Structure 1
Amino acid sequence: MIPLKSVEVELEVRDHVATVVSTLNYENKEDKPLEAVFVFPMPGDAAVCHFSATIGQTQIVAEVKEKQKAREEYDDALSSGQQAFLLEESDQSPDIFSLSVGSLPPGESASIRLEYVTELAVQADEGLRFCLPAVLNPRYHPQGSAGGSVQVTSVPTSLVPYSLSFSARVSSPRPVSKVESNCPLDPLEYLNTEQSQATVKLAAGHKFDRDVELLIYYKDAHQPTAVVEAGQTSAKSGTLMGDPVVMLSLYPEFPKAVMSSLASCGEFVFLLDRSGSMQRDRIKSARDTLLLLLKSLPMGCFFNIYSFGSSHEHIFPKSVEYNQETMEEALKKVGEMEANLGGTEILRPLKDIYSHACIPKQPRQLFVFTDGEVGNTKEVINLVKKNSGSHRCFSFGIGEGASSALINGLAKEGGGHAQFITGTDRMQPKVMQSLRFALQPAVMDISVKWDLPKEVSVTVLSPPITTLFQGQRSLIYAQLTGQSPEAAEGSVTVKYSLAGHPSQNKLHFSLKPAEDSGLTIHRLAARTLIRSLEMEEMERRGQPDEGVKKKVVELSVQSGVSSAFTAFIAVKKGNGETIQGPLVRRNVPTLMPMMAMCGGGASGGQMMGMTRSMSRSTPMCPGSFQRRSSNCSLDIEPQQPPRDPLLQLVSLQKASGCWELDPALAAAVGKTSEEENKEVWATILALIWLHGFKMDAQEEWELLAMKAVSWLRAQNAPCVTECVEAGNTLLGCKVQKDALGI
């Protein structure tokens, strides 16, 4: 008998901060006392800030205590017949929590309330992403590492014995444009005429068989903002919880002159997960994405491709210069890649990559693709942090259940950007967005200067900003100590050097605390500080720093926010009888791992018995690049399987940016067979086709089209205007020469 009956989730979004309240309802229908254990995923950067239990008419609010003390108190309570509840974060990864509901008597019901706050990440299309993880993938533990001890029963989706209800309320200073989801939603309901407040619910009957993802769109989402939150009245002045805290959201605007020319150098290292869980659509989508990436790289850069599972491989012994020969060799090997390397040993290939010295004047850009199933998350992130001065890291979580702690942690500590590809999302647009970031000039000498009234001092709680990208948000939390005058204002100025030119962005803000903001910002600030201290402790592995651990425990207890070294404990005091012998333990089941059903899995390591769900990418439609009124086409190697027409065209582009034309098409359009004319004509024809038929996928081909335009300009061909006119006629398009950029 499974004691978990239902899960209710209420989401409140204020601008780009979310508060999530989950209620889990348990009932013991057996004839003996039970202990129920539920292991579940959580957003990796969430701050768990409230945990309580209701039994009958009695509510018990949990306290945050040092983890070992909390565990001992829980065990003592159970052995003496009392009811107890324990919530703790996994030692290996901050996005896994376990909830133990102890000594639930026969016929008794219990309701568990769990609350956390989290920042919402900004997507490439300016949407804010909230994800309620439903799926907890098996976590691969490298050989010799300490595996997880919690085992969880898995069942097929149709047999998951508990239901989910989900509702959301969204409010912002700006109008809410729309809310989208990967799951069916009831219609969005606006609560005011300004459309700045709205509610939405998950449609009835949702099976909770995948992560619930919401994308929230505001008008003018990229406006810098500052929110000052009043401290807790019961907390001592001068402490984090007692003083006001400000949260700054900065969106740097770079000079247009600098942004018009993307970098033409760099060392691009691609690290691809080829473990068993990447089978079928995932590995195919990854291969197609690597095709686009390789075609979009600038001439003169360097690159290499690593892939990993239980072991790891590389295409070249070290990064090589990008040209036609090396590109073709890489693409041939990419086309042969399968998800056949077993487990998920990501630490070893990272160490291999970092063992190679950086190439002078070629900034290293690392792209990591994984479904995020590792148990040594903290160790991996710490390695990236140690090498953060030598590269930028861009990470991609593939499919439901990818570890948000791993994906976000890699990008945050590596000074890059994180993306998640779930459901029917196409991987290519998101990856190409990150490539644009990687091609942006590196921002140097970043500094933050505060200008506040003399009565107010500032303590910055966030780690120093080490990276800035055009249009991407940077968050800063700071504690404000001292009394500010009425209607006082402050400002913060971010200064930096971009492509050798000094630049700055300034934000003015009111020091008056926002009304009804609760302690959300304080808790997020505490979480930020806790995570920084935990990373500091990680760097001393082998030499534990008790001072840092003590600081984390004190801050966690003071703020009521969970950490790696603390846990929530609640005990219902009563006249319970001492229990003889062990309690009956019931592991609450979650979804059946799909890899178990289709033969995938890991080797050479340990697996925790958790759950997995596979997502399917949109299938590629077969076809060929061809003109409307002719049966001639660009040559496609006969051994290639049918592909998306866009990817077929992209596969034919040369490293220099041009396309070549086969003699049959040259004769059909009445052009000469001179080599330079053939290439100019074919390149213009390809660009017209992209603009005429594939504008909906412009994000995917924009960079390789820019490379083609650069190549055309360098040719100084006299026939460009005539070729554009002829190409439009041939393809039945009306694309203007200016639109092509030539």
Structure 2
Amino acid sequence: MICGLIRGDAVAVPLENIECTAEVSGDFGIYTLVQKYRNESGAPIDVRYIFPIPVGGSVISISAKSGEDVIASEIIQKKHAHNMLNTKADNLLLSHRGSIIETHIGVVAPDAEITVSVKYFCPTDSTDQGFRIVIPVVIAPRYASHGSQMAIESVFDRKNYRASLNVVYRGNGIIGVNSPSHEINAEVDSYGARVSLAEDSITDRDIVIDIAIRGKNSPAMYYTDTIACYSFTPKINIYNHEQGEYIFLIDTSRSMGEERLNRVKNAVLICICTLKKGDLFNIIAFADTHKLFSKIPMPMTDESLSEAKSWLDSLTVSAAEGRSELLRPVISACERSRGTVLLFTDGMAKSNTDILLHVQNHGGIVFHTFCLGSGADGECLERLAFASGGRATLIFEDENTEREIIKVFNRIIVPAVKNAAVTFDVPSLNIIPKFIKRIHAGERFFVTAKFTDTPPRELAVKGEFMGEKCVMKAVFESPCQAGEELLYHFTKARIDELRNLLTGNEIRDSLIKKQIASISESGGLLTEETALVTFRGGKDKQRVVDAAVLLSASAHYNKNTQIHSEGKSKKTKQDGVFKTIMTQHADGSFTKPKISPFLHTAHILHSICTECEKADLFVWHLRKSVSYILDTIERSESAVIPEDVIAALGAWHQTFGANDEISQKVEALLFLYGKNI
């Protein structure tokens, strides 16, 4: 789909210049794009403006100017906008939603300059080192996906427009500001950073800015007079282990394709290899029908692991077309488990409302959903995860599927804080979220709240951990004052909280949507329940021009786009490690003909700890191997431990050693053998 300023004959009006400004506070910001076009057709043209809303973003306003002609906008509830439009526009207003905004501008004179300004709110991406800001300066064929910001490089005819940039980032502890897409200037101080392009430059790609933060997981607080956003990573003992039960639901529909399905199968097998003695697992494959690996969850043994490998190898892409039948597999999973379900799909499922209602009526089962690519029904999968206390993860087409799945699973298998409640020691008017079903290890936790007075610098989270009550406190020693971006963040948080309560019950959902519409209108953020009404004559609102609504982008994927992401699907050295990990036995050992399993396991342990850049992906597999080595040593009658084994344990301890029982045993062995720790 062509975006930008578009003539009636679907031809794009040439873009000459774009000015980008942004005010960002940590995890969110407001962005303004001022785009200048020129009518070079030699005749008057009637134009519309189409803008792909950045992923997770919400439009605040659109304005336009050509000569003395000025257009302004206002967000109002659809039921009010309905009365302002003709019948044709009414139908449009009530029938579309999604991530594209489109509005009518009007007739533009020959050789006239048209300036269009778009202001929107958008979250930033979290990276391993800090945050990534993506600003869409490419107004061309593109696809806006769901769930996370992404930068796009488009292949199109005209690339000779210029771009300027002015980003203000508010936050402490900045240790670096870089851009993988452009040459930039960055001024950093104790309050944040100001970023601009090295010079006004011709650009053919979106601007990407990476901000590295010292102590990224440290508590962070942004505040205004009475509103504050808090974020922190709770400290959870990740070495405690409860018996777990895991069911893997794998979409094998035609749209998955062989390569994507194979990567999911690999990831599932690696996840199963993570499990310990006493854990249970099962696998369900679904497309137009579904089939089970086992009628009941299987215990983790070498025999069940071998059978799972063979069963996964036998899975192929279904020849059936259309949406996947997910309701029956979900019912089957709920009937056979009271544990954790991991759902992998790339498409749209039938009976979304029935699926959500069924999960809500079967409490105790946690669904973690994985949206594989931009075609997945992200909204449904997010609600499914939220309703059960799980988490939703989007994996883009170019990301390493195995790596992203394993990263999430490493957190899932650790005991979580359950039924948590957020409290402050001062009166609050609104806390979002007030209650949290589950908080997982390593997961950054966000709370937004409004108070009657100055926001406090401390909060407490009370919940249950491994059957016992617990209290976690967070102190925010260096809060940062935010701008209006925090007000929009608070509005977005209120809307998202309400939207997660939608279940498909028509009467109840109608009341919730009315609340969303009211908050959207008063807070100035465009949603599915509101319209962006444009007025000719600016603030005087002399005449209604159009009511822009959200349009679905799912049918407009353009093959000339490439998604910039850190993990590419091309084969890497890490793929070799994946293959090795998939050969691990249930007890943590690795075997090779004519070599002792004890020595070969030590060799694999040492190799991954010293040569693999992403060894932390396999933290639980390596821990199982260390346990196997220690158990073998305890059973051995030999008084001498081979030097290679000691070296392997030393490499593991240096990378993953902690204050737990296994680490202490390794530390004692290393001490006895005179190794520095």
Q: TM-score range, shorter-chain basis?
A: 0.7 to 0.9
Q: Does 1:570 align with 2:552?
A: no
Please say if 1:185 is aligned against 2:179: no
CA RMSD of aligned residues (A): 4.5
Q: Which residue of 2 aligns with 1:416?
A: 390
Match of 1:673 in 2: none
**CA positional deviation for 1:468:** 1.3
1:118 alignment partner, one of 103, 119, 122: 122
Q: How many angstroms apart in 2 are the aligned matches of 1:720 and 1:425?
A: 47
Contact residue 308 and residue 341 of structure 1 kept, 8 A? no
1:113 shift after superposition: 2.1
Residue 158 of structure 1 corresponds to 156
Aligned residue type for 2:499:
E
Distance 1:184 1:384 in 2: 45
**Structure 2 partner of 1:261:** 240
CA distance in 2, matches of 1:202, 1:413: 46
Secondary structure of 2:614's partner?
helix
1:89 and 1:43 map into 2 onto residues whose CA distance is 22
Alignment partner, residue 151 of structure 1: none
Question: Between Structure 1 and Structure 2, how many residues are aligned?
Answer: 620
Matches within 5 A, 1:207-218: 207-208=204-205, 214-218=209-213
In structure 1, C-alpha distance between the alignment counterparts of 2:265 and 2:534, rounded to whole Å: 49
Aligned-partner Cα distance in 2 for 1:495–1:128: 28
Give the aligned partner of residue 432 of structure 1: 406
Matched, 1:523 2:440: no
Aligned to 2:3: none
Partner of 1:63: 74
The one-letter amino acid of 1:43's match is V
Aligned to 1:460: 431
Greater length-normalized contact order (CA 8 Å, ≥ 6 residues apart): 1
| 1:473 correspondence with 2:444 | yes
Contact 2:181–2:208 (8 Å) recurs in 1: no
User: Cα–Cα, structure 1 residues 690 and 478, in superposed 2: closer, same or farther, change >3 Å?
Assistant: closer
Change (3 A) 1:98 1:573: same
* Cα deviation code 1:548-595 (max 9, x no counterpart): 333322222211122221111112159xxx9xxxx9xxxx999xxxxx
Whichever residue aligns with residue 583 of structure 2, its letter is: L
Query: Does 2:377 correspond to 1:394?
Result: no
The answer for the alignment partner of 1:707 in structure 2 is 624
Partner residue, 2:468: 501
Distance 1:525 1:589 in 2: 25
1:98 aligns with 101
Q: Is the 8 A contact 1:370 1:398 kept in 2?
A: yes
Match of 1:659, SS? coil
Q: Specify whether residues 381 and 201 from structure 1 end up closer, same or farther in structure 2 by C-alpha distance, changes over 3 A only.
A: farther
Describe how 1:649-668 pairs up with structure 2 within 5 A: 649-663=580-594, 666=595
Partner AA of 1:684 in structure 2 = A
Q: CA deviation at 1:724?
A: 4.1
Distance 1:105 1:20 in 2: 26
Q: 1:249 aligns with which of 210, 231, 236?
A: 231
Identify the residue that residue 83 of structure 1 maps to in structure 2.
Answer: none
Match of 2:303 among 310, 314, 325: 325
Residue 404 (structure 1) shift: 6.0
Task: Give the gaps of 5 or more residues in structure 1.
Answer: 80-85, 140-154, 231-243, 591-606, 623-642, 667-677
AA of the residue aligned to 1:176: I
Letter in 2 for 1:679: P
C-alpha contact (below 8 Å) 2:334/2:362 kept by paired residues: no
- Offset of residue 214 of structure 1: 4.9
Counterpart for residue 220 of structure 1: 215
* Equivalent residue number for residue 604 of structure 1: none
TM-score, normalization by structure 1? 0.71
| 1:238-275 per-position Cα deviation (integer Å, ceiling 9, x unaligned) | xxxxxx32222233223xxx422333x22222233445
- Measured after TM superposition, the shift of residue 71 of structure 1 is 5.6
Identify the match of residue 269 of structure 2 among 291, 298, 301.
291
Whether the aligned pair in 2 keeps the contact of 1:43 and 1:131 (CA below 8 Å) is: no
Q: How does 1:66-85 map to 2 (within 5 A)?
A: 66-67=77-78, 69-70=80-81, 73-75=84-86
Amino acid at match of 2:586: A
Q: Which amino acid aligns with 1:100?
A: T
Counterpart position of 2:609 = 691
Extract unaligned runs of 5+ from structure 2: 1-9, 147-152, 657-662, 667-677
| Aligned match of 1:608 | 555
Secondary structure of the corresponding residue to residue 439 of structure 2: coil
Q: Deviations over 1:83-140 (max 9, x none)?
A: xxx99898554xx1331224334535543322222333544x253344567843799x
Using a 3 Å threshold, how does the CA distance of structure 1 residues 375 and 438 change in structure 2: closer, same or farther? Answer: closer
The answer to whether the Cα contact below 8 Å between 2:131 and 2:211 also exists between their aligned partners in 1 is yes
Aligned to 2:660: none
1:720 is displaced (CA, Å) by: 8.2
Q: Structure 1: which amino acid aligns with 2:182?
A: L
**Aligned mates of 2:512, 2:649 — CA distance in 1:** 65
Amino acid at match of 1:36: R
| Aligned partner of 1:363 among 339, 347, 351 | 339
Q: Which moved more, 1:306-315 or 1:215-224?
A: 306-315
Shift of 1:609: 4.4
- Inter-partner Cα distance in structure 2 for 1:78 and 1:468: 45
Structure 2 vs 1, CA of residues 286 and 508 (structure 1 numbering), >3 Å: closer, same or farther?
closer
**With structure 2 as the length reference, what TM-score do the two structures score?**
0.77
**2:46 aligns to what?**
34
Distance 1:402 1:13 in 2: 29
Shift of 1:410: 5.0
Tell whether 2:9 aligns with 1:5.
Answer: no
8 Å CA contact 1:658–1:711 kept in 2: the answer is yes
